[in-house]
Amino acid sequence: MQTDEKTLRRVRAMTFSSVYPLLLAKVERKGRTESELHEVIRWLTGYDDARIDELTSDETTYQEFFAEADLNPNASLITGAVCGVRVEEIEDPVMQQVRYLDKLVDELARGRKMEKILR
């Protein structure tokens, strides 16, 4: 699936620090913890907790966030729909990686077991 250029520019320019509180609120509303959210982020990106904490307080854009990440080789096993879009069909690499994270957070919030989330 192709994403229009205006949306791509907007998503790439969003800061991780502006999105992180929304991700955290989503999982906490469903009874999950910040520790579990960090576990998911660590699995996908290779960042450690100290780096995640740094990223939640600086102005790193989503594009920079994923460019610096050591993406998990099993990330391509993340499939399914987020906001009606199948993540495996997204053509833009940054947008696909953003949706990978969204999908993992959705699964965490839905109560899926961590062993299944971390493919």
CATH, domain 5-111, list 1.20.1510.10, 1.10.8.290, 3.40.30.10, 3.40.50.720: 1.10.8.290
Q: pTM of the predicted model, to two decimals? A: 0.91
CA distance 94 to 30: 27
Mean pLDDT taken over the chain: 94
The pLDDT tens digits for 3-51 are 778 888 999 999 999 999 999 999 999 999 999 999 999 999 999 999 9
Domain borders along the chain are 5-111
Furthest CA-CA distance within the chain: 36
The pLDDT tens digits for 51-102 are 999 999 999 999 999 999 999 999 999 999 988 889 999 999 999 999 999 9
H helices of the chain, in order, are 5-13, 16-29, 34-45, 49-55, 62-68, 93-109, 114-117
Q: Is 117 a residue whose pLDDT tops 90?
A: yes
Tokens 């961590």 -> residue: 114
